[in-house]
Structure 1
Amino acid sequence: MLRVLGVLKVATVEQIQQIAAPHLSYRHTDKSTPSKRKQARTASHTGALSDLRKHGLAENGGQLPGGDTLRNLTPMGLKAAARELGRPVGEMGNPARGAGRTGASHPMTVNEAVLALLRPKPDLAQLASEPADVRAAAQAAFDAPAGLGTISSYATEVALPATGTWANPGKGGAQADIVITAPEGGVPLLFVEIDNCFESAQVLAAKIDKYMRFGQRKVKDTGGKERPMWRTRWWVPDGRRGDQPHPPLLLVFNRIGPRNPNTVIAQLAELTERHWKGFWYDAGFHMYDGKLPIVVTGMKQLQEHGPAGAVFRRFGRRQNQTLLEAIGNPRREAHDARKQAEYAARQREHQEELRRIAAQHRAEKEARRPVCADCGTRFTDERWKAVEPSGWGAPRETHPHLCDDCKQRAITAERQAEQAGHGHQEHGQAVPEQKAGGTWLSRLRG
């Protein structure tokens, strides 16, 4: 309850229930009238709001024309919500007191946009005992394309100061109806402006001028280096080299006022062209460095299809896209993907050529590898190296045509032959001495 009201600022009990406990939207289908079904679905949240009122955290904020009571947090409630959301109290904004006095048409449209972008999923385990048709409806909602982030990914009525500070904005700045930070969903930062079709294209163009001034504003960080002011509060990946656009702006038109949104959109695109028009590159894409991506859609289309539907039109493009495509640069991404694929292909070709050359060298080396003259075995690398000619001072290889095993056998055989030859020579020398000695003795006797 605190988290939802901390984000929305003012809401009906049913809107709180749809975000905080979406499975309840599929219960109590057996009640006889829509009002009774609604009362049953929101009973627990109505009781919780009563408890928050008793503790001074929430209060009634008036009524809508249809009779629904608006609820908002007190200053103490905002502090409690800040703890629940993990945000500084200074980022929570002000209590939305008195919103019901004017019908709260704009805050209610903001809440409906949050619901359409968030698309809360029902907890199917909470509906296990419900009838089959109820479970089927909940399953269909569960299986539908997901929305963006969680309720903690959203903030409303966020000041974007062109002068002054975050805490004390000066004149000339914008105030975003919704700020979405859902990097896990591909949307690190998105500003959302809601229009109920009461404002002219000129008034909206003036608002976009303020967004542009905020995006261009730079401040010095703790190291004395200038950086965009919005980067001191929100994290967004660095843009690619030479292409760093400002955070994108989504305009949601809710056709309850007298103006035709199609006419307003066409005029607005012309009035703000200098802010959003990119630079064409012959490679087949635009670059948007220093530009403000502006995307438009209708509330009914957003509620029906959500951010995954092709119901978003970016200024300067001719076709509708999904939200991620509209705020991105698909042509640049496709170009980069092609370049990466071409580079990868060249790398593979280069590696294949290196493998081919290496295989050819191995084959040529094997063809030159010596063969043992005795047993016919090819030399090992060590043996081949040993028989290769070396420097002048290196000892000469005694058996360069034999492998290691045959060399050892040859050396052994040579040693045995040498030993046998020495023994025979010694024996041959001893016999003549005896004969010579005998002849001398016989002479003496004579």
Structure 2
Amino acid sequence: MPLLFVEVDNCHESEEELADKLEKYARFFQRQVKDTDGQERPMWRTRWPAPDGQLGYDVPHPPVLLVFHRVGDRNPDRTVPRLADLTRHLWQGQWDRDGYHRYDQKIPIIATGLNNLRKHGPAGAVFQRFGRTDMQTLTDAIGNPRKDAAHARARAAQIARQAAYEAEQQRKAEQRAAKREAKRPACAECGDKFPDDRWEAADNYPKATSRWHPTLCENCESHARVAALQAEQAERERREQEEAAAAAEAARRAGGWLARFRS
């Protein structure tokens, strides 16, 4: 059950007397006191827990439920319309352009009959909120279904806009990625695409050396290095062989001249 202030009437009091009681409720709800944290708050909130938005109502004042028990001579069917007119300033909301009423600083006033409660139970559609014509369940009578529907539509529209925005951002990101991928260099030897780090290194150091080949992938560069080392080794061996041959030839010639002198 939500927080309710219940006023039971045995149909003895006049509409003016009941209206005066509702005025007292309004003054009571407006009474301010300092809470334990030193902040000013409505006094009733320091006595009874009632979070904002409970069961759909988001007004600072809790509802007042009028339960009519037809014992006296007054007819509730005539009392309620007259009482609603007398207390209109207490409960009437302001129309919002989003399609619902706002009830800031207003009191939800709900009426029902004890016979209807006995017949249909507290969960039945036996409650009439002042300003409405249909009988409703207590939850709907206290709440603001039009506001709930408007907020649901707004949330759905926001979700749709967010989804469309994210889809557009994803599409743009994919386009940027595709354009970037189209520029990605490939190995001049095997044709494999460069990974990002290799691409960045090739852009930063475009000049080739004996140990750095910006147009080759890492694997092909490794093979190129091995081939270069092998070529260097072969060149050294060739030079060494040439030098050894030249030295042998020089020694042979020198030996021939010495033999002539000895003879």
The alignment's TM-score, normalised by the length of structure 2, stands at 0.89
Equivalence for 1:220:
34
Counterpart contact for 1:305–1:311, Cα < 8 Å: yes
Equivalence for 1:234:
48
Equivalence for 2:128:
313
Amino acid at match of 1:434: A
Report the Cα distance in structure 2 between the residues aligned to 1:390 and 1:305, rounded to whole angstroms: 86
Equivalence for 2:255:
441
Counterpart contact for 1:314–1:326, Cα < 8 Å: yes
Counterpart contact for 1:386–1:397, Cα < 8 Å: no
Residue 197 (structure 1) aligned with residue 11 (structure 2): yes
Following superposition, the deviation at residue 248 of structure 1 comes to 0.3
SS in 2 for 1:295: strand
Counterpart contact for 2:186–2:192, Cα < 8 Å: yes
Count of aligned residue pairs for this structure pair? 256
SS in 2 for 1:250: strand
Residue 407 (structure 1) aligned with residue 221 (structure 2): yes
Following superposition, the deviation at residue 391 of structure 1 comes to 10
Equivalence for 1:337:
152
Amino acid at match of 1:238: D
SS in 1 for 2:204: coil
Q: Which runs of 5+ in 1 are unaligned?
A: 1-181
Report the Cα distance in structure 2 between the residues aligned to 1:249 and 1:413, rounded to whole angstroms: 94
Q: 1:443 to 1:363 in 2, by over 3 A?
A: same
Report the Cα distance in structure 2 between the residues aligned to 1:193 and 1:444, rounded to whole angstroms: 144
Q: 1:425 to 1:396 in 2, by over 3 A?
A: closer
Counterpart contact for 1:239–1:245, Cα < 8 Å: no
Q: 1:396 to 1:382 in 2, by over 3 A?
A: farther
Equivalence for 1:285:
100
Report the Cα distance in structure 1 between the residues aligned to 2:249 and 2:175, rounded to whole angstroms: 73
Following superposition, the deviation at residue 409 of structure 1 comes to 1.0
The structure number with the bigger radius of gyration is 2
Following superposition, the deviation at residue 239 of structure 1 comes to 5.8
- Cα deviation code 1:1-37 (max 9, x no counterpart): xxxxxxxxxxxxxxxxxxxxxxxxxxxxxxxxxxxxx
Report the Cα distance in structure 2 between the residues aligned to 1:412 and 1:195, rounded to whole angstroms: 104
Q: 1:417 to 1:390 in 2, by over 3 A?
A: closer
Following superposition, the deviation at residue 370 of structure 1 comes to 1.7
Q: 1:249 to 1:397 in 2, by over 3 A?
A: farther
Counterpart contact for 1:197–1:259, Cα < 8 Å: yes
Counterpart contact for 1:218–1:226, Cα < 8 Å: yes
The alignment's TM-score, normalised by the length of structure 1, stands at 0.54
- Cα deviation code 1:347-373 (max 9, x no counterpart): 111111122122222222222222222
Residue 273 (structure 1) aligned with residue 126 (structure 2): no
Equivalence for 1:73:
none
Report the Cα distance in structure 1 between the residues aligned to 2:72 and 2:162, rounded to whole angstroms: 59
Report the Cα distance in structure 2 between the residues aligned to 1:210 and 1:260, rounded to whole angstroms: 23
Q: Which runs of 5+ in 2 are unaligned?
A: none
Following superposition, the deviation at residue 412 of structure 1 comes to 0.8
Counterpart contact for 1:278–1:288, Cα < 8 Å: yes
Following superposition, the deviation at residue 420 of structure 1 comes to 1.1
Amino acid at match of 2:92: K
Following superposition, the deviation at residue 302 of structure 1 comes to 1.8
Residue 428 (structure 1) aligned with residue 242 (structure 2): yes
Higher RCO by CA contacts (8 Å cutoff, separation 6 or greater): 2
Counterpart contact for 1:387–1:397, Cα < 8 Å: no
Matches for 1:86-125 after TM superposition, within 5 Å: none
Report the Cα distance in structure 2 between the residues aligned to 1:408 and 1:201, rounded to whole angstroms: 100
Instruction: Return the match for 2:163 from 348, 356, 362.
Output: 348
- Cα deviation code 1:233-267 (max 9, x no counterpart): 11111369xx6331100111122322111110011
Q: 1:436 to 1:357 in 2, by over 3 A?
A: same
Counterpart contact for 2:211–2:225, Cα < 8 Å: no
Quick one: percent identity of the two aligned structures?
Answer: 50
Q: 1:391 to 1:286 in 2, by over 3 A?
A: farther
SS in 2 for 1:364: helix
Report the Cα distance in structure 2 between the residues aligned to 1:307 and 1:424, rounded to whole angstroms: 108
Report the Cα distance in structure 1 between the residues aligned to 2:211 and 2:116, rounded to whole angstroms: 89
Matches for 1:112-151 after TM superposition, within 5 Å: none
SS in 2 for 1:377: coil
Counterpart contact for 1:313–1:326, Cα < 8 Å: yes
Equivalence for 2:200:
385
- Cα deviation code 1:88-120 (max 9, x no counterpart): xxxxxxxxxxxxxxxxxxxxxxxxxxxxxxxxx
Give the ranges of 4+ consecutive aligned residues of structure 1 lying more than 3 Å apart after TM superposition. Answer: none
